[in-house]
């Protein structure tokens, strides 16, 4: 697909005899807000792991900015501009919040264009906690730290893996506002989310996975009316 920032081409991933992803293809355009949804166990996080490099696909290709990155280790992909947040936050627990951001800034930040850790923390609303260890943060602050740390890698593509799970209504809006702001600043965003209100409002285009297969693609309105999607979520 010409002009695509990220292209996933017929990815297959098996765990033993279980096929977690079966010939899944999708593309994400530069600057897009892209939603990836599906029931639990449908393969969303596996797909993201194949894109970020934490898992290697058994077949298929991952192409980023026209370059085949299928076999690159995760840290090389991060340097090329793919950053992610983790579904279950994985902060660097022995470091302060500020030093957490220091790692991607030092290792993947492409110099220091666009300000340092403090600027990112201020943008995301964590500046008052910069000196604390992550263990002292609340649930939402931990999610914000995940996003802030991913931002410190200066990504072109940000993958937000269930950044809102377990948050309150107001907190979801808070995170959404941050993601909208990042997108407005030119960052392409893939959002994986179970909170439909959030994905539907955020995404320009959505792909639906079910049991490792891609079952639908379209705008939020099209997805809501899609009978296959309804079946996947609610059963026959």
Partner 1 sequence: MRRTGLVLLAGTAVVAAGIAVAALRVNPYLPVNSYLYFAGYVILQYVVIATAWNILGGYAGYVNFGTPAFFALGAYTAVFLIRTVHPPLPVLILAGGLVAALLGLGIGYLTLRLRGTFFSIATLALSVVLQTVIMNWDFVGGSRGLSVLRPSGPPFGNYVVFLFTVMVGLAVVAVLVARFIERSWIGRGLAALRDSEEAAECMGVPTLRLKLFATTVSGFLLGVAGAPFPYYVTFVEPNSAFAIDYAVNALAMPMIGGTTSWVGPVIGAVLLGTAQQLATVTISSELNLFIVGVVLVAFVVLAPEGILGLVRRLRGR
HEC secondary structure over 186-222:
CCEEEEECCCHHHHHHHCCEEEEEECCEEEEEECHHH
Q: Is 41 in the site for partner 1 (CB under 8 A)?
A: no
CB closer to partner 1, 27 vs 84: 84
Q: How far apart are CA 13 and CA 37, in angstroms?
A: 18
Binder of partner 1 out of 39, 60, 91, 116 (CB under 8 A): 91
* Phi and psi angles of residue 65, each rounded to the nearest 5 degrees, phi first: 50, 40
Measured CA to CA, the distance from residue 192 to residue 87 in angstroms comes to 9
For partner 1, which stretch binds (CB under 8 A), given 26-34, 75-83, 121-129, 203-211? 75-83
Measured from the CB atom, the residue of 187 and 232 that comes closer to partner 1 is 187
- Across 35-57, b (16+ Cβ under 10 Å) vs e yields bbbbbeebbbbbbbbbbbbebeb
Calculate the alpha carbon distances from 130 to 114, 147, 148, 149, 181 in Å.
Answer: 18, 14, 11, 12, 21
Q: How far apart are CA 3 and CA 228, in angstroms?
A: 29
Question: Which residue, 5 or 148, has its beta carbon nearer to partner 1?
Answer: 148
Convert residues 120-149 into a mask of x (bound to partner 1 by CB under 8 A) and - (unbound): -----------------------------x
> At closest approach, how far in Å is the CB of 93 from partner 1?
5
> Residue 75 or residue 181: which is nearer to partner 1 going by CB?
75
Binding residue (CB under 8 A) for partner 1 from 35, 38, 102, 220: 102
Residue closer to partner 1 (CB basis): 100 or 183? 100
Per CB under 8 A, residues contacting partner 1 are 52-54, 73-75, 78-79, 83-84, 86, 90-95, 99, 102-104, 106-109, 149, 152-153
């Amino acid at each position: 697909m010409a002009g695509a920032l990220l292209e996933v081409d017929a990815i297959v991933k098996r765990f033993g005899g279980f096929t977690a992803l079966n010939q899944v293809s999708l593309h994400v355009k530069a600057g897009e807000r892209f939603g990836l949804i599906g029931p639990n166990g449908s393969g969303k996080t596996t797909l993201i792991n194949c894109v970020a490099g934490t898992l290697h696909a058994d077949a298929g290709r991952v192409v980023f900015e026209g370059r085949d990155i299928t076999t690159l280790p995760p840290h090389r992909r991060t340097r090329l501009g793919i950053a992610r947040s983790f579904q279950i936050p994985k902060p660097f627990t022995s470091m302060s919040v500020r030093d957490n951001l220091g790692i991607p800034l030092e290792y993947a930040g492409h110099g220091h264009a666009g300000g340092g850790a403090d600027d990112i923390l201020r943008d995301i609303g964590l500046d008052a906690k910069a000196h604390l260890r992550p263990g002292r943060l609340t649930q939402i602050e931990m999610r914000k730290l995940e996003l802030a740390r991913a931002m410190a890698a200066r990504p072109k593509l940000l993958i937000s893996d269930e950044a809102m799970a377990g948050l309150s209504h107001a907190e979801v809006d808070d995170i959404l506002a941050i993601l909208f702001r990042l997108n407005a600043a030119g960052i392409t965003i893939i959002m994986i989310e179970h909170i439909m209100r959030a994905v539907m409002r955020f995404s320009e285009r959505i792909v639906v996975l079910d049991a490792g297969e891609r079952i639908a693609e379209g705008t939020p309105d099209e997805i809501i009316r899609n009978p296959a999607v309804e079946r996947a979520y609610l059963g026959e």
